[in-house]
Amino acid sequence: MGRVVRMVVAAALAGAVGSAALPAPAAVKVPRPKADYRFEGSLKSSAGKQTRLVKEGPGVKLVRKAVLGNRERVLSWPEGSGVRLNKAGRVLGSNTGTYTFIMLIKLKKVDSYRKLIHFKDLLEDNGFYVDDGTLYAYPTDYSAEVVRAGRWYQIALTRDAAGMVKAYVDGKRVLVVDDVDGDQVLGPDGFLRFVRDDEDTETEESGGLMARLRIFSKPLTGKQIRKLGL
């Protein structure tokens, strides 16, 4: 897509012990996403035959905007609207508690609570938020202040089989949380809601733009996330 890739590059220095050189580092392999939403004319995934996203609320549309120096189509939504993935188990697979979500996103507001991902039961407040510039796996813990309004960020959220949740901003890990109560797990209703709040509080949202959303059925490492770039 011609987008400038921002990623941390580790410089490997080849040394020698006697006459034997150190072995080269193993290549980082990244699995294919189970769903990859590029918003290039539709809300369908470009990876596999996965469920398309559904608009929730008025004003959700695809528009052309500048994204890190390139003009391309993005998802645009006003505060109070968002998108939904029904039958999300088709994407996450049988173990719906392990995943990676990676979104390239720009929010209009980051003050107070602004929901990014809602996992289950629209009467629950749990989920993944921006809260006064921090990333917050509510109700467990939050990061330092890492996100500002009006800027593009790659935000990644992972969860492994042991319940460890990690969040990354532009490839840098900023949060580690032990999700012992399963708050960040797909619920029995089987849907995911993005950038729109639950129906308990309803007001913890921000309008914004999203240039890409990728979903994996397993937790990626920090090295794999950096390898992906944007």
DSSP string over 138-167: ETTEE-SS---TT--EEEEEEE-TT-EEEE
| Cβ atoms 135, 155 nearer than 8 A | yes
Residue 65 predicted with pLDDT over 80: yes
The tokens describing 186, both together, are: 């797909």
Query: For residue 152, how far is the Cα from the chain centroid?
Result: 13
Residue 125 predicted with pLDDT over 70: yes
Q: Who wins on pLDDT, 109 or 8?
A: 109
Strand partners, 175: 167
Give residue-wise pLDDT tens across range 80-116.
Answer: 999 999 999 989 988 889 999 999 999 999 999 999 9
Give residue-wise pLDDT tens across range 32-57.
Answer: 999 999 999 999 999 877 789 999 99
The amino acid at residue 30 is V
Element at 103 (helix H, strand E): strand 99-107
Mean pLDDT, residues 4-11 taken together = 38
Q: What gap in Å lies between CA 87 and CA 105, rounded to an integer?
A: 23
Q: How many residues does the chain have?
A: 230
Read off the pTM: 0.88
The tokens describing 91, both together, are: 């994407």
Please state, as a whole number, how many other Cβ atoms lie within 10 Å of the Cβ of residue 13: 5
Residue 14 predicted with pLDDT over 50: no
Percent of the chain with pLDDT over 70: 89
Going by C-alpha positions, the residue among 56, 150, 157 that lies closest to residue 102 is: 157
What SS3 state is found at 83? strand
Q: What gap in Å lies between CA 87 and CA 214, rounded to an integer?
A: 16
Q: What gap in Å lies between CA 29 and CA 225, rounded to an integer?
A: 10
Mean pLDDT, residues 162-175 taken together = 97
The amino acid at residue 185 is V
Q: What is the mean pLDDT of the chain?
A: 89
The radius of gyration of the chain's CA atoms, rounded to the nearest angstrom, is 18
Enumerate helices (H) and strands (E) in the chain, giving the number of each.
2, 17
Residue 7 predicted with pLDDT over 50: no
Q: What angle do CA 30, 53, 51 make, to 5 degrees?
A: 70
Q: What gap in Å lies between CA 185 and CA 127, rounded to an integer?
A: 9
List the domains of the chain with CATH numbers: 32-228 (2.60.120.200)
Mean pLDDT, residues 129-144 taken together = 96
Reported confidence tier of residue 25, pLDDT bands at 50, 70, 90: low
Reported confidence tier of residue 181, pLDDT bands at 50, 70, 90: very high
